[in-house]
Structure 1
Amino acid sequence: MIDEVVMLRHGRTPYNLQHRLQGQIDVPLDIVGQWQADQSGYALAGRFYWAKVSRLAANPGLIAQPPADAAKRTDLSQYAEAPAARRRMVVISSDLYRAQQTAHAFADLLGLEVICDARLRERSFGQWEGLTREQIKTIDAEAYASWKRHTGGETRYGVESRAHVGERGAKAVRELIAEYADDTPTTMMLVGHGSWITATVANLLELNPDGMNALGGMRNACWCRLKVRHTLNGQPAEQPLFELEEYNTAPAIAGSADWENGPADLRGPNMPGWRPIVW
């Protein structure tokens, strides 16, 4: 049974650096994005270390043993009896490569499988995919302004509406929860995209997806966390209920390092600096 959902946005890509709309174009992480994914992966692997213990308890043959002439063997019962053995972690990623890279930066540390699922794909930006904001304004300033105001002018260019992104995202989350409806308490890590995460969380919390102040955007390689409840007043709920516990959380290093640009020793002479988005 899924009782916790974590949603992690992918690290920086070249399109993010250039402020190009990626949508469903398959763009990999750049060097700074890989660093961001790794830093978040380290932080989350530390928090969810129990998931490694859970995996080893379920697969005791993977637990390292000393040579036969050692004084003691590794005590497998410690893993089987640990409270962690009674939980499970599943990692599910958008099938776009930048999300897969970010998922593996976390999952590989704990020895967990990454399951790819196209239902977690980013919002489609239609004819605007690959364009910068300046290019979009040149093409249709009115539609751009409407997009900025959350009044839907972008949809005339085949851009998926925020409401639709939230609906398909929430549907995917509920379907995945139903797929793990056994008795094992489970944390589900979903690795995907900023617009998808924001719209999906808004839908799950029954917020207006076009509300200007409902939820802010997600930074690269940051995460949110939702508690999932399956009962209401002691009775089974008709569908899962969600409570937002964290939103747009970054690892501790983001507070002391230049998160958007990465460490100086990663930035070559031809790499431009990241600039805040100016609408």
Structure 2
Amino acid sequence: MITDIVMLRHGRTSMNLERRLQGQIDVPLDIIGQWQVDHSGLALAQRYYWAKVSNIAAHPDLLPTPPVSAVRAADIEEYRKAPAAARTMRVVSSDLFRAQQTAHAFADILGLDVRLDPRLRERAFGEWEGMTRAEILERWPEDFRSWKRHEGGELAHGVESRREVGERGAEAIRSYVREARDEPGEETLMVVSHGSWIVATIATLLGMDVDEANGLDGMRNAFWSRMALERGADGDRWLLVEFNRGPQIAEFVDWENGPQELRSPDMPMWKPIAG
């Protein structure tokens, strides 16, 4: 049964750097995004190292086999008897490529498979996808201001509502919980998705009004949030344990722009949105 859910946002893309609404446009990570997810993937793999042990215990063929000349053979029983073997981890990802890259930066270290799920895609932004906020403001000033006030002006342009995104995400999470409900042991679910999707899904699971969830800021690239699921006589209870957390290195470097040695001379600097 699933008791722990980690939601990891993908790393930076060139469209993130240009401050464009990506929505469901399929774009890869840029060089800084790959650097971000490599650091976050390593940090999370260190935290959840037990998942590698558990996976080997369940799939003995993954245990490296020494040559016949070795003094001793590899001992699968060490893995099967370890307490870690009683817990499992499942990794699921949005099928958009930037999310897949992020998922594999974590899962490949631990030897885990990645399951793709289109329900985990980012919020669809309709005809606004690929545009900057300045471009939208210039063409549709009233709808833009309505969107910023959470009054729904964006819906006239085929944009998926925040409530729809939250319901889509929450139902995907609940479906995974239902699938694993009768499985023995505890399971951690690693979900790799997108910023708006993660915030809307968390708000929905917590029973918050998605349009009024002002206490939840946006997710930074390659940062994660974690929820715990408690079961009781009155039903499931969702708890937000971590929100918008990243690897320790992010506290000491310019996380959004990455190290100098990765930035080409013509690469613009990422800047926060003013106002």
Give the TM-score taking structure 2 as reference length: 0.97
SS of residue in 1 equivalent to 2:32 = helix
Which residue number corresponds to residue 71 of structure 2?
A: 71
- Summarize deviations over 1:33-58 as a string: whole Å, max 9, x none: 01101110000000000000001111
Residue of 262, 265, 269 corresponding to 1:269: 265
**TM-superposed deviation, 1:71:** 2.4
**TM-superposed deviation, 1:152:** 1.3
Q: Counterpart of 2:219 in structure 1: which amino acid?
A: M
5 Å matches for 1:78-93?
78-93=78-93
**CA distance in 2 between partners of 1:61 and 1:72 (Å):** 17
**CA distance in 1 between partners of 2:22 and 2:209 (Å):** 24
**TM-superposed deviation, 1:278:** 2.1
Answer yes or no: is the 8 Å Cα contact 1:51–1:89 preserved in 2.
yes
Q: Counterpart of 1:200 in structure 2: which amino acid?
A: T
Answer yes or no: is the 8 Å Cα contact 1:91–1:107 preserved in 2.
yes
Q: Counterpart of 1:242 in structure 2: which amino acid?
A: W
Which residue number corresponds to residue 49 of structure 1?
A: 49
**TM-superposed deviation, 1:11:** 0.2
Answer yes or no: is the 8 Å Cα contact 1:202–1:214 preserved in 2.
no
Q: Percent identity?
A: 57
Unaligned 5+ segments in structure 1 are none
Answer yes or no: is the 8 Å Cα contact 1:103–1:191 preserved in 2.
yes
Answer yes or no: is the 8 Å Cα contact 2:27–2:98 preserved in 1.
yes
SS of residue in 2 equivalent to 1:188 = strand
Give the TM-score taking structure 1 as reference length: 0.95
SS of residue in 1 equivalent to 2:210 = coil
Q: Counterpart of 1:32 in structure 2: which amino acid?
A: I
- Summarize deviations over 1:256-277 as a string: whole Å, max 9, x none: 1110000111001111111111
Say whether 1:259 aligns with 2:255: yes
Answer yes or no: is the 8 Å Cα contact 2:20–2:133 preserved in 1.
yes
Answer yes or no: is the 8 Å Cα contact 1:150–1:212 preserved in 2.
no
Which residue number corresponds to residue 103 of structure 1?
A: 103
Which residue number corresponds to residue 195 of structure 2?
A: 194
**TM-superposed deviation, 1:66:** 2.6
Which moved further from structure 2: 59-68 or 2-11? 59-68
**CA distance in 1 between partners of 2:247 and 2:111 (Å):** 21
RMSD: 1.1
Unaligned 5+ segments in structure 2 are none
- Summarize deviations over 1:25-80 as a string: whole Å, max 9, x none: 11110000011011100000000000000011111232123332322222222111
**TM-superposed deviation, 1:241:** 2.0
**CA distance in 2 between partners of 1:125 and 1:64 (Å):** 46
**TM-superposed deviation, 1:127:** 1.0
Which residue number corresponds to residue 215 of structure 1?
A: 216
Residue of 221, 238, 241 corresponding to 1:242: 238
**CA distance in 2 between partners of 1:166 and 1:122 (Å):** 11
Q: Counterpart of 1:60 in structure 2: which amino acid?
A: P
Equivalenced residues, count: 274
**CA distance in 1 between partners of 2:216 and 2:208 (Å):** 9
Q: Counterpart of 1:27 in structure 2: which amino acid?
A: V
Answer yes or no: is the 8 Å Cα contact 1:21–1:125 preserved in 2.
yes
